[in-house]
Amino acid sequence: MSRAQADTADTGAGAAPLARLYGRFVWSRLAIIGVLVAALLVSVLFDVATGPSPLSVADIVTGLLDRSALPRGQAVILWDLRLPFAAMAVLVGAALGLAGAEMQTVLNNPLASPFTLGVSAAATLGASLVIVMDLSVPGIGATYLIPAGAFVFAVGSVMVIQMLARSFGATTDTVVLFGIAMLFAMNALLWLVQYVASTDALQQMVFWTMGSLGRSTWDKVAVVAAVLGVCLPLSMRKVWAMTALRGGEDQAKSFGIPVETLRLRVLLRVSILAAAAVAFVGTIGFIGLVGPHIARLALGEDHRFYLPGSALAGALLLSLASIASKNLIPGLILPVGIVTALVGIPLFMTLILTQGRKL
Amino acid sequence: MSAGLFLAGLSLNGVSVGYGGRPVLSGLDLPAVAPGSVVALLGANGAGKSTLLKAMAGLGGATGRPAGQIVLNGQDLVGMTLEQRVHAVGYLPQALPQGSSLVAYEAVLSAVRAVRPDTPRDHVEASIERVFDTLGLRPLALRRLRELSGGQRQMIGLAQVLVRNPRLLLLDEPTSALDLRWQLTVLETVRRIADAERSICVIAIHDINLALRFCDHVVVLGHGRVLASGPPTHALDPDVLRHAYGIEARVEQCSRGFRLVLADRALPDAGRAATPFQ
């Protein structure tokens, strides 16, 4: 077709097989993923090193290899405080990044994220109710009851949105609108709960809501890791269907993809990921929204790269935010939820403005 | 006529499609169209062109499964699952999304992988190579879809359909958003593919003159049924056009031998167009 060629001859691709050209292109993407992984490792190292009592890189490496090689105090700081905090930042960031990416694809909306569609708000309401009612359930420790409340509400909110969407045969745009309505409803209820709460409970709630890595312990890290460990492989099994969905719902259906079933499963997975993340560190907005955008700018929307890239970008963002939370005000560790947006927005704007010109 | 010849092609027998019990199309018949044919679906907005294409593609959704038979090469498509149908039928929707950051190669690759995840890699690469060459899209392979023009994106959409080598292509207004050059490019390509691959192509299209020029068979839909059907030289007359579109029009022969429709004016009483066509 000479016309199409004439229109595009300036971009010139030679006579080499397309598969080989594309192969090189894939390598460049893998290289970007490699850079993200390296940046994440460096960030985690800094995160572990930073704090009221500084640890040197040498101390960290020594302590990681052999706990008993460090003085007892330093070993406790490294293994019981810094490492679980840093690991939690990475896991929660990855969970939110992955959840946001999948949500944006199945709802075909770049503004979708667990935060903007009320999943995080629902989790916060669930946690607040547990705090204010001072609930106790035999068999579940107090430290897990608040996360459990968050979890039940987050999954519940997605189920409600899905049920509404199903019974009205809603389009993806309507699902997004339901989500935004959910956000406002949850926030209103949250304010109501806060209004009637006792001063003690209110303080606990506000602190919880801000999002903090300070509650991280190894067993909580293990729970989030397990959730991510189950969800990420499940997501990766559907990468082709998800990539095809970027071509529109009708086209995806014409490829034989059961789009409704796929969307339901993805949204359930997203609610579990978001709930696990929010349940242990509180509300952290922004990452579920921006992680996917960074991945899209850097890696495109082939979900083989986009989904892991989004998880990595989310992890990197939260890890950087964790470092910043310890450095912004000397001697004080700010709740990471406050810092995330403050650190993330300049980074995000830079990316949009520099990459935007290329697109 | 041998059994093989009898079976080859596409025909519709008493096909009805509707939304929530309200029929949009009822009792459509289309006598067998031979392999290698390009069929134009004409009709006013809301006449059911897209609905019929979606029903043929199995994208019922709100309409559910159509009644009647849609027979392709001896097999009834209506009873097939989406997964069975996808191997025989390729569908290009009317509106392709604008903002995708996929590169063209990936868009076509996903069209193969999403349908048949276990196809051997060299086979996939060969079919993508072939379709990019056939459509002259090589230079676009590594460009992001959002950087492409509407016409280029439409060609990539066509590549996504053709890479699976379907026997039946359903194209929903593939030219409606394109400038004249791309309209011709897309239709010339479709014509060439139908001739070369002996596949059947059904195109919903608004431009009657392009339809008359590129298609072997014209089907005019209106008032829930087929108003006229046949070769371009016979199917259209001023009467059909008045009932289908509510316009006063002439059908004339151009110097190159094509039929041309010259629309003179919209008929003032739109209600007249809605009265049953006898």
- Of B122 and A356, the structure prediction assigns the larger pLDDT to B122
How far is it, in rounded angstroms, from Cα B194 to Cα B38? Answer: 7
Q: Mind telling me how many Å the CA of B158 is from chain A's nearest CA?
A: 11
Q: Is B29:B226 a contact under the CB 8 Å cutoff?
A: yes
For position A5, what pLDDT does the model report? 44
Name the pLDDT band for B3 (thresholds 50, 70, 90). Answer: very low
Do A321 and A89 meet the contact criterion of CB atoms below 8 Å apart?
yes
- Please choose, from the candidates A214, A203, A188, the residue with its C-alpha nearest in 3D space to the C-alpha of residue A284: A214
Cα first-last separation, chain B: 34
pTM of the model: 0.88
pLDDT digits (tens, 9 = 90+) for B79-101: 888 778 888 899 999 876 666 88
CATH class of the structural domain A18-358: mainly alpha
* B92 to A258: CB separation less than 8 angstroms, yes or no: no
In 3D space, the residue among B7, B29, B35, B31 whose CA is nearest the CA of residue B200 turns out to be: B35
How many interchain CB pairs under 8 A, A with B? 146
Q: Higher pLDDT residue, B254 or A42?
A: A42
Q: Is A3 within 8 Å of B181 when comparing Cβ atoms?
A: yes
* Tokens matching residue A2: 């000479």
Are the Cβ atoms of B105 and A18 closer than 8 angstroms? yes
**pLDDT of chain A, 359 residues: tens digit per residue:** 444 444 444 444 456 799 999 999 999 999 999 999 999 999 999 999 988 888 888 889 888 888 888 888 888 999 999 999 999 999 999 999 999 999 999 998 888 888 888 888 998 899 889 888 887 777 777 778 888 888 899 889 988 988 888 777 777 888 888 999 999 999 999 999 999 999 988 988 887 778 888 888 899 999 999 999 999 999 999 999 999 999 888 889 889 898 888 988 998 899 889 888 888 888 888 899 899 999 998 999 999 999 999 999 999 999 999 999 988 888 788 888 888 878 777 877 877 787 654 44
Q: Say if residues A27 and A42 touch (Cβ distance below 8 Å).
A: no
CB of B2 less than 8 A from some CB of A:
no
How far does A118 lie from chain B, in Å, by closest CA? 25
Dihedral of alpha carbons B172, B177, B183, B188, sign:
negative
| Angle value at C-alpha B203, between B197 and B204, nearest 5 degrees | 175
pLDDT above 50 (res B1): no
3-state secondary structure of B151: helix
CA–CA dist A240, B115 (Å, integer): 9
Residues of B in contact with A8 (CB under 8 A): 139-140, 143, 152
What per-residue confidence (pLDDT) applies to A356? 57
Compare B122 and A167 and report the one with higher pLDDT. Answer: B122
Q: Flag if A5 and B129 touch (Cβ within 8 Å).
A: no
b/e code B190-225 from CB counts within 10 Å (16+ = b): bbebbeebebbbbbbbebbbbbbbbbbbbbbbbbbb
What would the two tokens of residue B89 be? 């039928």
Of A7, A243, A248, the CB nearest to B93: A248
In sequence order, the 6+-apart residues with CB closer than 8 A to the CB of B273 are B44, B242, B243, B244, B245, B246, B267
Are A302 and B97 in contact (CB < 8 Å)? no
Per-residue pLDDT, A4: 45
Q: What is the pLDDT averaged over residues B103-116? A: 92
**Taking CB atoms and an 8 Å cutoff, what residues of chain A touch B138?**
5, 13, 18
The structural domains of chain A, with segments of one domain joined by +, span 18-358
- Residue numbers of B between 215 and 254 with CB closer than 8 Å to A: none
Alpha-carbon distances of A70 from A59, A62, A74, A247, B197, rounded to whole Å: 7, 7, 6, 55, 73
CA distance B35 to chain A (A): 21
Nearest to A7 by CA among B171, B150, B103, B106: B150
List CB contacts of B55: < 8 A, sequence separation 6 or more: B15, B17, B25, B63, B66, B70
Quick check: A231 and A273 in contact, CB under 8 A? Answer: yes
Q: How does DSSP assign A78-137, residue by residue? A: IIIIIHHHHHHHHHHHHHHHHHHHHHHHHTT-TT--TTTTTHHHHHHHHHHHHHHHT---
pLDDT tens figures, B128-181: 999 999 999 999 999 999 889 888 998 999 999 999 889 999 999 998 888 899
Residue B2's pLDDT is what? 39
Predicted local confidence at residue B258, as pLDDT:
82
Query: Does B97 reach chain A within 8 Å, measured CB to CB?
Result: yes
Closest C-alpha among A113, A139, A144 to residue A127: A144
Check CB contact of B202 with chain A, cutoff 8 Å.
no
Is B75 buried (19+), middle (13-18) or exposed (0-12) by CB count in 10 A?
middle
Residues 274-293 of A with CB under 8 A from B: none
CB contact under 8 A, B142 and A251: no
Provide the pLDDT confidence category of residue B49 given band limits of 50, 70 and 90: very high
